Amino acid sequence: MSNTDSKTPPKGDRIAKIMARAGLCSRREAERWIADGRVTVAGKVLESPAFNVTDPSTVRVDGETLPVTETTRLWRYHKPPGVVTTDRDPEGRPTVFEKLPSSLPRVMAVGRLDIASEGLLLLTNDGELKRHLELPSTGWTRRYRIRVYGRVEPEKLAGIAGGVTVEGMHYGPIQAKLERQEGANAWISIALREGKNREVRRVMDHLGYSVNRLIRTAYGPFQLGSLTRGGVEESPSRVLKDQLGKKLAARFNFANRRR
């Protein structure tokens, strides 16, 4: 089933965008669901995500209609160590989403923190917002405090300010500063923009320092602050709208919230 053959631009929005906006999943997940044959439009199984929908009421996922598009919202969550940032874990480990209050709607994590890491994790009910905030081009700085084993040489930390390549993977500029040395361990503050998978741990290993604690303290303008471990707090929409800018914010459903 495809509507991309016409020479005129198709009306409506791409199916993955509609599913993400409904808070079901991210665009990437939507594409996987379509490939698995879980999505129908007007009773026909969708074969490709290259499909525009003008009437979302005709869309079914696993036989169910799409939920009503909710107001775009964002939460700060203090992720504890020992939980994974996935909906389901094949190894049966506890997940972030199992730990969240039942009062929250269905949410998605913006980026990830690995099981041993802790600190600020942003949550949203809008798959489009999740996608935007995860893009490196968004340019938001991620900040961390890490504890490493080893005697840290400031010169080594200065050497990654222009970026570094580790085992064929290039990482962009990383600002790293020694806070203090405590015997065999040291605390380092880190600031970076890309946030690739296990970036901080891999780069520190490359420098000869083993990370034994990693805390994300900020994601763009949003701070961990005094949020207690396991705590969740909704962020004011006005802060997010200010950061997105008027033109981009207009793409999201902030209209009915006075926060």
Q: Please, which residues have CB within 8 angstroms of residue 81's CB and are 6 or more apart in sequence?
A: 115, 116, 117, 118
The strands making up 44-45's β-sheet, listed across from edge to edge, are 44-45, 39-41, 59-61, 64-65
Q: Are 163 and 203 in contact (CB under 8 A)?
A: no
Q: Which residue has the tokens 């900020």?
A: 218
- Give this prediction's pTM: 0.77
Residue 166 three-state SS:
strand
Answer whether 118's CB lies under 8 Å from 79's CB: yes
What is the structure's pLDDT at 258? 42
Long-range contacts of 198-202 (CB under 8 A, 24+ apart): 198/114, 199/171, 199/174, 200/144, 200/146, 201/114, 202/166, 202/167, 202/169, 202/171
Q: Which CATH superfamily hosts domain 141-219?
A: Alpha-L RNA-binding motif (3.30.70.1560)
* Predicted local distance difference test score (pLDDT) of residue 121: 97
- Per-block mean pLDDT, blocks of 10 residues, the chain (259 long): 56 83 80 91 89 87 81 94 89 92 90 94 91 84 96 96 95 96 96 90 96 96 95 91 85 60
Query: Annotated catalytic sites, by residue?
Result: 114
Q: What is the gyration radius of the CA atoms in the chain, in angstroms?
A: 21
Q: 115: which 2 tokens? A: 């099981």
CB 83 within 8 A of CB 119: no
**pLDDT tens digits, one per residue of 179-209:** 999 999 999 999 999 888 899 999 999 999 9
Asked if domains 74-137+221-249 and 141-219 share a fold, the reply is yes
| Structural domain spans, the chain | 13-65, 74-137+221-249, 141-219
DSSP three-state, residue 242: helix
- Residue 164's DSSP bridge partners are 171
Give the fold, CATH level 3, of 13-65.
3.10.290
pLDDT of residue 185: 97
In the three-class reduction of DSSP (H, G, I as helix; E, B as strand; rest coil), residue 246 is classed as helix
Angstrom CA distances, 43 to 1, 5, 245, stand at 11, 20, 39
At the top level of CATH, the class of 74-137+221-249 is: alpha beta
pLDDT at 2: 53
Q: What is the pLDDT of residue 259?
A: 41
Token pair belonging to 3: 């509507």
CA distances from 4 to 7, 10, 11, 52, 239 (A): 8, 7, 11, 8, 38
